[in-house]
Structure formats: structure tokens, C-alpha cells
Amino acid sequence: MSDNEQQIKLVLGQPLEADIVSADRSVVLVKAGTMVTQDLMMRLTNWLHEQERLREKQEKTGKKGARHKMRWDILKKLEFEQIVSDRTRKQLEKGCENFFSTIGKKGSPPDIAALEDAVQTMVSESPDNPDMPLKLLEMKKHSSYLFQHAMNCGVIATFVATALKYPTREIAAFALAMMLHDTGLLTVNPDSLNKMELSEKELVDIRNHPRSGYDALRTIPGVDPLALLVAIGHHVYADGSGYPDNVDFHDLPELAHLAVIINDFESLTSEKPLSEAIHMHEAIVAMLRQSEKYHPVMLSHFIRAVGFYPVTTFAQLNTGEVGVVVRNNPENLFLPEIKLVMDENGKRFPSEISVDLMRESDRWITRIKDNI
Ligand SMILES: [Fe+2]
């Protein structure tokens, strides 16, 4: 490693060991001692992707970039776990972009095989680790919410189906189905998705998107039947609500019921044109409050995989201390293992203190904190 390269380990809940500086070392971007929060990690990652895009653009155009340009090859060494490697994510994005841009157009049909290959790679790479910080998958911000939603749903599907020990072939088929589930929205006027008050026609179009997605996917050679069922069933709820009207919840397979849960969870926890993201734990609580809408076994499986307090949740304890969830106890989802980061006076602990709430009867979580 040369002099001007930096390798900094990011540890959630711990202060940064060294400054993160721009490539020319003229600007301190994040000061040493700053607490590494989920928010900081996400911001850094988003920003790194921006830097990479900028670098690629500069390579193409040969132009010098902004003053604060940071070398991607240095910063990618920041260590934090990802469900999907950068290389695979790019492959997925490309496959997804090509697929969505050719669907419904004249000429050769969309290339399902390329997208399938990318999904296979994601599934084979995906570590069977329930303590993966799920929210980090939301790194890439895409201009299109639909595209980002598709990508995220594909990754969550891989994570959850892997945790539930589905066979690899089914995981891949399900992940691909989740990436394609909103294909029908491509036929809806994008303006309708960004406004509060919809006309009768716009409402009908939106409520029809599962059907139009099903119809579009059906015509594409090689699309797995599961993708058709997920497309038509991803807004069909167990209590009879949702749409389309003529699709019966009981006619759908269990993975289509899981698709409903993943779709709602991703939607609740993502920034959208008309609504703000809520915390993963709040999304779980909101879904539990309306549990009659979901397949009970699938909802329980999903929460078991993601955790009631998902890994990376910041939690305030009855003692006043603040910790970050690092592992869930399958025996009791209310009592995860946490890493204490602040004492009752808001002072940072100098070193990492792990506490397994299962084994500490005098400590428990009283509320979650968005940030610290
Ligand atoms: Fe949808």
C-alpha cells in the first residue's frame, strides 16, 4: 500500500480510528473519533458510489474531476460486510436495467438469461449469515425508485430465503421473481406514482399493475412461473384486501405470500417520492400490527430471519445505556446481543462491551433510536 492510501476499518458503534480524507489529503471528510453509525456507513457508501461513477466518467471523458475526488480503489478497502459484492451488484444492475429498458419494446425480447446469471451469482455469493446488516444493501441510490425497489427486493429475497434454507434453485427463482414483481408499473404513467391525488383512470392503472406485469412477463421466453405468480400476487393480502380483485390469496404459493411481506417491508423502509422511510424495527412493528394481512407462518419466518430488532438497530436500554444490535437470539427475538456504545450519561464507552440480553436479566431494550 502506498503512502497516500488509507485503510480504515469501520466498526459499527465504535469511533473512527483515523480521519477519512480526500485523495489529495486536503480535506478531512470525516474526523477521527466520529461514532460509526449505520447512517454514517450508508452515507459513506452512497458517496463512494458517486465517486466511482465520477471516476468512470472521468476515465471516459479524460476530464479532471471535482477537488474532493477520492480514489475509489483506496476507499473500497473500508471494511464492512455486504450481502452483495460490488461486482455482483453491478452485474445485477446491468441485467436489471437492460431487462426493464427492453420490456414492451419491439425487437428481440428482454434478456432474462443475463439477469438470471447475475441472480445466480448473488445467490451463490450470499453468505448464510443471519447477522448481516440488512440495511446496508440499500447502498445504491438510483434515480428511479422502481429500479431501486426491484434491486432491494431481490437482495432481501436472497437474504430471507437463504436464512429459511430454501434450496438454491428456489432462492434464485424467488430473487429473480422479486426483481421483476413490479414490471407492470412500467406501463403506468410515472407521474401517477409521484402524486397524492389520483384520477379514476390512474387508480385503475395502478391497481392493474400486477395483472399487466403478469401479462408482460408471460410473453417473455424463459421466465419462471414463480415470477408470474409473484407479479400477480404481490398485493394480495390474507384478509381479502389488496388487488387485483379476482386473485385469491389461497391460490398463491407460499413464496408469493413471502413476496407480499418483502414488498411491504422494502416499501416502508425506503425513501419514496411520497413518503419517508421508517426504521426497519418500526416496519416490523407496523406489519405485526396488521398481521391479519399476511400469511402467518411466512410473517413469522420473515421476522425470524430479519430480527425483531434487526442487526444495526440502535437501542436504548432501561439503564439509560445505548447499544447497537449485533446478533439476534433465535430463542428470544426481544433479547438480542448488543454492543454498548454509550453510558447512561451519553458518554462513549472507551472500548467495545458486548452484552447478551438473554443472559442479563437487569438490562432490556426500552426503545430504539434512529441515530445517536
Ligand atoms: Fe407493486
- Tell me, in angstroms, the distance from the centre of ligand 1 to residue 263's CA: 8
pLDDT bucket at 61, cuts 50 / 70 / 90: low
How many Å lie between the centroid of ligand 1 and the Cα of residue 296? 21
Rounding to the nearest 10 degrees, give the CA dihedral for residues 239, 244, 248, 254: -80
List beta partners, residue 332. 329
For position 35, what pLDDT does the model report? Answer: 76
Ranges for all domains in the chain classified under CATH 1.10.3210.10: 86-306
234: CA distance to ligand 1 center in Å?
6
Q: Quote the pLDDT of residue 164.
A: 93
Encoded amino acid at 171, one letter: I
* CATH domain 86-306 topology: Hypothetical protein af1432 (1.10.3210)
What was the pLDDT predicted at 72? 33
Distance 237 CA to ligand 1 centre (A): 13
Instruction: Please give the Cα distance from 334 to 313 (Å, whole number).
Output: 12
Cα-to-centroid distance, 294 and ligand 1 (Å): 16
**Pairing assessment for the beta strands 20-21 and 28-30 based on DSSP bridges:** antiparallel
pLDDT of residue 18: 79
Instruction: State the distance from the centre of ligand 1 to the C-alpha of 206, rounded, in angstroms.
Output: 8
How would residue 106 be classed by pLDDT, with cut points 50, 70 and 90?
confident
Q: Note the pLDDT of residue 59.
A: 63
**Least confidently predicted of 8-22, 259-273, 314-328:** 8-22
The alpha carbon torsion through 34, 37, 42, 43 (nearest 10 deg) reads -30
Q: How far is the CA of 205 from the centre of ligand 1 (A)?
A: 11
Centre of ligand 1 from the C-alpha of residue 126, in Å:
25
Q: Which residues of 169-202 are buried (b: 16+ CB within 10 A; e: fewer)?
A: eebbbbbbbbbbbbbbbbebeeeebeeeeeeeeb
| Ligand 1 centroid from CA 132, angstroms | 26
pLDDT level of residue 190 (50, 70, 90 thresholds): confident
* pLDDT score for 199: 85
Average the pLDDT over 57-71 and give the result: 44
Q: Quick one: pLDDT at residue 62?
A: 53
193 falls in which pLDDT band (50, 70, 90)?
confident
pLDDT at 325 over 60: yes
**Which of these ranges, 38-47, 51-60, 134-143, 323-332, has the smallest mean pLDDT?**
134-143
